[in-house]
Amino acid sequence: RNHFAKVHLRALSSEEIETVHQKSYVPMASKLRFIPKANGLRPIVKVSGVVEARAFSRESREKKMHHYNTRLKNLFSVLNYERTVNASFIGSSVFGKDDIYKAWKKFVTKVLESDGEIPHFYYVKADVSRAYDTIPHNKLVEVISRILNPEKRTVYCIRRYAVIMITTSGKARRFYRRHV
């Protein structure tokens, strides 16, 4: 197999590197590895594998990774909040098996309540090949910009808290939650 046929990588120019270094927030550069697929390679980035690890002390590197992961979790929480508040933005999209079940149950219930002849139901499961590889970055930014409208100047308050529960075996378990 020719795994490298569809891989499109390029080196950053000196100007691009200089532009990144002049920003107030410099993103971490992580190690990149590839997993072979039937028709190419899947790029995998491990955030904990910071490039130029010798440049930072272990404590500094862990602090940077924690900061980066916290920012990602906050962004994910805000996007989930917007998804629940503005369901019209996502149309008929579903996120996982629970959402599929809810949408399917709502549809079937509506059909069964219509007092007509009950039709045959068919369910199709599809897998979009190269789904993440083919998402145009500009379109992704446009969609997220529409959801997180910069003109609205919305301020999000993200609360982090612990929930302590007693398990069936009698042990106390602590779960950390986020709420926007």
pLDDT at 51: 63
Nearest residue to 103 via CA among 113, 115, 114, 91: 91
Location of structure tokens 């949408």: 103
Q: What is the pLDDT of residues 36-61, one digit of tens each?
A: 877 777 778 776 666 655 555 677 77
Structure tokens at 174: 């602590």
pLDDT at 24: 66
Location of structure tokens 């971490």: 28
Q: What is the pLDDT of residues 161-179, one digit of tens each?
A: 999 999 999 999 999 999 8
Angle, vertex CA 166, rays to CA 161 and CA 169, nearest 5:
145
Structure tokens at 2: 């020719």
pTM above 0.85, yes or no: no
> Of all residues in the chain, what percent carry a pLDDT higher than 70?
83
Q: What is the CA radius of gyration of the chain?
A: 23
Q: What is the pLDDT of residues 111-139, one digit of tens each?
A: 888 877 778 878 777 777 667 767 888 88
- The predicted model gives 78-89 an average pLDDT of 82
Residue with the bigger pLDDT between 177 and 29: it is 177
